[in-house]
């Protein structure tokens, strides 16, 4: 079945202590504007990114894929309210313009902080949910360094997070996220909900490499739980 699926991506890893300013133009990725509409699909097809993973699954399944916006800014200070409002408006306007859709795939960071939205990704997901309604599944891919919040978990159906640092598995997680959406739409997977549990621990940065050390052990234990539960 040719499902109608919306995809989009707004990414920023905010450092609120950074003196480097963030502007709307920071999200243009070397262009004159955000990547919009069909360009989101054309520019990311064949790339080893989260969006690339979404698109490859969509192409194989014969979905009617609808691009919204794609804007990625390098890490810097808080996103000004006006810039965030414009990013949000662009995304939501295009989701609304898509009309009736079967599903939504979002590739976000998880650590964007706007002056008027401390939990920017949670706010974006809630706004998308308001447009598409309660019955349309929303699946999200996030960076390993994202902050997953209760607000986000209340409005999305599944969250897929990088398992590697340095991050080399964005494409694989995008594939997984899109396949999850496929299973939901096919009825092969009962409509999931997201539960969040945060252990009382903060690994130091020097130990966050996932190829060795304690983070590798934690990731491996998590994968075992995922596939044995």
Which run of H or E residues covers position 9?
strand 4-11
CB 134 within 8 A of CB 193: no
**pLDDT > 70? residue 229:** no
**102 contacts: CB under 8 Å, gap ≥ 6:** 3, 4, 5, 136, 185
Contact status, residue 97 vs residue 130, Cβ threshold 8 Å:
no
> How would residue 50 be classed by pLDDT, with cut points 50, 70 and 90?
very high
| pLDDT at residue 182 in the model | 98
User: Tell me, what's the pLDDT at 158?
Assistant: 97
Cα distance between residue 198 and residue 23, in whole Å: 32
Domain boundaries, the chain: 4-198, 201-229
The closest alpha carbon to 162, from 139, 145, 179, 137, belongs to 145
Quote the pLDDT of residue 113.
Answer: 97
Hey, which CATH number is domain 4-198, 1.10.286, 1.10.10, 3.40.50, 3.10.450? 3.40.50
Per residue in 180-227, pLDDT (tens digit) is 999 999 999 998 989 888 888 777 777 777 777 777 888 788 788 777
The tally of CA atoms less than 13 A away on the side-chain side of residue 145 is 15
99-139: pLDDT as tens digits:
999 999 999 999 999 999 999 999 999 999 999 999 999 99
Q: What pTM did the predictor assign?
A: 0.93
């Amino acid at each position: 079945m040719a499902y109608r699926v919306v995809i989009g991506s707004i990414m920023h890893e905010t450092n609120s202590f950074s003196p480097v300013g963030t502007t709307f133009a920071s999200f243009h990725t070397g262009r004159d504007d955000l990547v919009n509409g069909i360009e989101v699909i054309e520019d990311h097809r064949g790339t080893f990114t989260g969006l690339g993973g979404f698109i490859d699954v969509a192409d194989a399944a014969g979905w009617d894929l609808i691009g919204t916006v794609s804007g990625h800014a390098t890490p810097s200070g808080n996103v000004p309210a006006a810039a965030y409002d414009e990013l949000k408006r662009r995304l939501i306007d295009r989701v609304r313009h898509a009309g009736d859709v079967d599903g939504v795939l979002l590739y976000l960071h998880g650590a964007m902080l706007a002056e008027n939205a401390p939990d920017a990704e949670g706010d974006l997901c809630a706004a998308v949910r308001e447009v598409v309604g309660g019955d349309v599944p929303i699946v999200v891919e996030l960076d390993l360094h994202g902050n997953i919040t209760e607000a986000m978990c209340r409005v999305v159906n599944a969250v897929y997070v990088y398992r590697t640092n340095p991050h080399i598995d964005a494409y694989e997680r995008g594939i997984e996220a899109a396949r999850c959406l496929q299973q939901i739409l096919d009825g092969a997977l009962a409509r999931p909900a997201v539960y969040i549990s945060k252990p009382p621990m903060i690994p130091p940065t020097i130990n966050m490499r996932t190829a060795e050390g304690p983070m590798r052990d934690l990731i491996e234990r998590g994968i075992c739980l995922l596939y044995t539960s």
